[in-house]
Amino acid sequence: MTVRAKASPGVPLGLLFMALIMALNWLLLSRLLGHDIPDQRIGFLSFLLGMVVLASLPALAVLAYHTLNCAVLRYRLDRNGITIYGIGTEQIIPIGDVRQILPGDQIQGTITHRRGLRWPGCERGVGRIPGIGVVHFFATRSWPDQLLLLTSGPAFAVSPRTPEEFLKAFAARQELGPNRQLEVGVRRARWLTWPLWTDRTAWTLIGAAVIINLGLFAYLSTRFPGLDLILPLHFDSLGQVDLSGGKMELFALPVIGLIVLGTNLVAGLILYKWERAGAYLLWGAAAAAQVLFWLATLGLMS
């Protein structure tokens, strides 16, 4: 028997939050790109606005993940246990581990030490209740509308669409008894268990390349207002200027660096599964390339 979670106000709220972030990004990008780039006054404020847009992308991804989790959350009961399904995860609770199921409005005490992202209609994370202990939340309603599954270990808060049917189905399956033993735990999709997520070397190399590239954008944006309109872009073997251009052309260097970074990042991700050292080499080369673009920029501006 599979029971969906109660209809969640967290889904429209999550979509609203995402729409607000995208609207803010649109306003900021309109401010940055509302005129022809050469005529726009570029400065450190422009860089900061761009960074706000860039920093919002992970927030959008997290909001999308949790909103979708609220939309698809469901609970499956059989004689062996209860399985809570989310995006890429399955929380397994053996039927014999559940000692009691209590409505949330019968629980006294305040939830403390809450961790995890949550908003009205989206209760995902971990908390602690005095007298009960650690509670894992997999619900789409607030605490009084949840059911608390008490086990010998942590408790689990759920919000089935039909609590009465859920309780009856649980009692019937508990009475049957299990025909195979389950272990409490979480099953994760393969993409969530990819070693890259916890690979410090990989993130250090990628992070270094990103920071160096963004630093060059920040440096150019800060210096841009005080630069001459026409700058030397290339010198011959005698040290004489043989190519000049507008100062906007300086941004070609960090842009090319960004292209190199993106190309090596994708190639490294493809190679990572079979040849981790090769992926490190690509990401390290991307970081080294950013240093070379810094040196080229400083040479042109000196």
Classify residue 247 as exposed, middle or buried by CB count within 10 Å of its CB (0-12, 13-18, 19+). buried
Instruction: State the Cα–Cα distance between residues 158 and 123, nearest whole angstrom.
Output: 9
Dump pLDDT digits (tens) for 87-114. Answer: 999 999 999 899 999 898 888 777 888 8
Closest CA to 105 of 76, 141, 153: 141
Distance of CA 101 to the CA centre of its chain: 33
Range of the domain at 60: 1-190
Q: Are residues 6 and 36 in the same domain?
A: yes
Q: Provide the number of structural domains found in the chain.
A: 2
Q: Are residues 3 and 71 in the same domain?
A: yes
β-sheet bridge partners, residue 49: none
Examine the fold and report which residue of 156, 190, 224 is the final residue of a domain before the chain moves on: 190
Q: Are residues 178 and 252 in the same domain?
A: no
Q: Are residues 297 and 174 in the same domain?
A: no
Dump pLDDT digits (tens) for 130-177. Answer: 888 899 999 998 888 899 999 988 999 999 999 999 999 999 988 888
More reliable by pLDDT, 49 or 19: 19
Q: Are residues 98 and 176 in the same domain?
A: yes
Q: Are residues 173 and 220 in the same domain?
A: no
